């Protein structure tokens, strides 16, 4: 089970980094979302994977419980990542409507500003 979760975190992280390196805005937003999902899975798995255990202590002195802190952190991270994704989508939509394209042309931007490496 641990291998499956570790593999999922690795695949989500690799996919997120790959999409972050694209030159279009929509894949970059998807890459950030994948990275946030990878962090959420990692945080959730850090609280030990426990099946059929309550996140609270019982009054009978049973020592089998799971840590509720990673669950609370993941819930908070989900809300924050959803809000940031919405903000990024609105910024990207505004940039697309302004420029009529969502591509990032780095070479033209460097040439226009005079930073092409020539003195």
Most confident of the ranges 10-19, 49-58, 97-106: 10-19
Domain contains 91: yes
Mean pLDDT of 66-94: 89
Distance CA 104, CA 47 (A): 40
Give the model's pLDDT for residue 112: 64
Domain contains 118: no
116 pLDDT above the threshold of 60: no
109 pLDDT above the threshold of 60: no
Domain contains 99: yes
Per-residue pLDDT tens digits for 49-62: 677 777 677 676 66
CATH of the domain at 14: 1.10.287
Domain contains 115: no
Domain contains 116: no
97 pLDDT above the threshold of 60: yes
Structural domain total, the chain = 1
Domain contains 73: yes
Give the bridge partners for 103, in sequence order.
24
Domain contains 60: no
Q: 74: which 2 tokens?
A: 């993941």
Domain contains 114: no
Residue 97 is part of which domain span?
A: 2-49+66-109
């Amino acid at each position: 089970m641990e291998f499956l979760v570790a593999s999922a975190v690795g695949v989500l992280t690799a996919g997120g980094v790959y999409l972050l390196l694209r030159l279009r805005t929509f894949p970059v937003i998807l890459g950030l979302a994948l990275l946030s999902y990878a962090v959420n899975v990692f945080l959730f798995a850090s609280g030990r994977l426990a099946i059929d255990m309550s996140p609270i202590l019982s009054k009978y002195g049973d020592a089998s419980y799971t840590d509720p802190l990673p669950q609370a952190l993941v819930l908070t991270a989900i809300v924050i990542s959803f809000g940031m994704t919405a903000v990024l989508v609105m910024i990207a939509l505004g940039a697309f409507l302004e420029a009529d394209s969502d591509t990032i042309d780095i070479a033209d931007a460097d040439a226009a500003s005079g930073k092409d490496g020539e003195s």
